[in-house]
Amino acid sequence: MRASLKPRIALFAERRDGHAGLLIEAFAKRGIEAVPVALKLCAVTTDAPHGLYIPGFEAALPSAAFVRGIPAGSFEQVTVRLGMLHALRELGVPVWNDARAIETCIDKAMTSHLIAKAGLPTPATWTAQSLSGARAITERETPRGPLVLKPLFGSQGRGLKLIRSADDLPAEEEAGIAGLYYLQRFVEPADEVWQDFRVFVVAGEAIAGMARVGETWITNIHQGAGAQPLLLTEEMRSLAVRAVLATGADYAGVDLIRGRSGVTQLLEVNSMPAWTGLQQVTPGLNIAQLIADRFLAVVARRGAARSVEEAAR
């Protein structure tokens, strides 16, 4: 932390939900005040000393910033909200996760691209910007098995659709499509059990994981799936950490799946993950405290490195 400033952190959260509350408590245990801030109330103000308006930080910038959530909005609103995070980084404020990582992870297509580019196993993926383009992909690929249509910016299992033929594709104007089709090879379940795995990575380490078991192929907790304890294998740890590294995130929830082929594959990287289900199956681990402690340790190391660089000038 900066020695010249009282250590106060901006906790960007759409609302003070249970996760935000746990983080505030975790930081408080280390003598740090985490101030909840709604990004939709922030603004560029060029006549301010640092050029930004952040409620609660009018006099000085936060020592660091932790992003718990970004509220939905128009393209313009979201652009400005992410721009605030970009601006903080440019001003030297450590941000978890920063705007670049969030933008990458929110965009499932870019996440798939980077994971594949890193040589990591992931289901074959295609995008099309028209129904005709999506139909061409579907007609070519569905003879080998079904595909999954996902909203490019969706989360919590909403808007997923199984595509067995081109006739299953929705029209371009339907909700969640917006003229963009993100299609991924459907992974057939092993042993007829609908499950995938969530691995939580913080500061380059896979700290915990859970199995998500559902009654259908959609295994998100918010869609009714149940969380079960999971003993992470070295393969799971390695894949999750490497996926997070590929996206540039500091902390993330990584979704893995193992199908009939026996190969573990990467599905998604969530840069603003919830951990309620994970906490339920890891009672001996205080996830919020671990996140806060790792965050503070990284911020402290960055501050020390910056001080050394300034002294050497």
The per-residue pLDDT for range 62-118, each reduced to its tens digit, is 999 999 999 888 889 999 999 999 999 999 999 999 999 999 999 999 999 999 999
Per-residue pLDDT, 3: 42
Instruction: For residues 204 and 195, give the distance between their C-alpha atoms in angstroms, rounded to a whole number.
Output: 25
Q: What is the pTM of this model?
A: 0.89
Task: Report the candidate in 186, 190, 191 with the shortest Cα–Cα distance to residue 168.
Answer: 186
Residue with tokens 């340790």: 297
Integer angstrom CA distances of residue 17 from 20, 29, 67, 69, 121 = 5, 19, 13, 10, 35
Per-residue pLDDT, 221: 66
DSSP-derived pairing of the beta strands 205-213 and 226-229: antiparallel
Instruction: State pLDDT tens for residues 36-45.
Output: 999 999 999 9
Task: Report the candidate in 44, 105, 41, 120 with the shortest Cα–Cα distance to residue 73.
Answer: 41
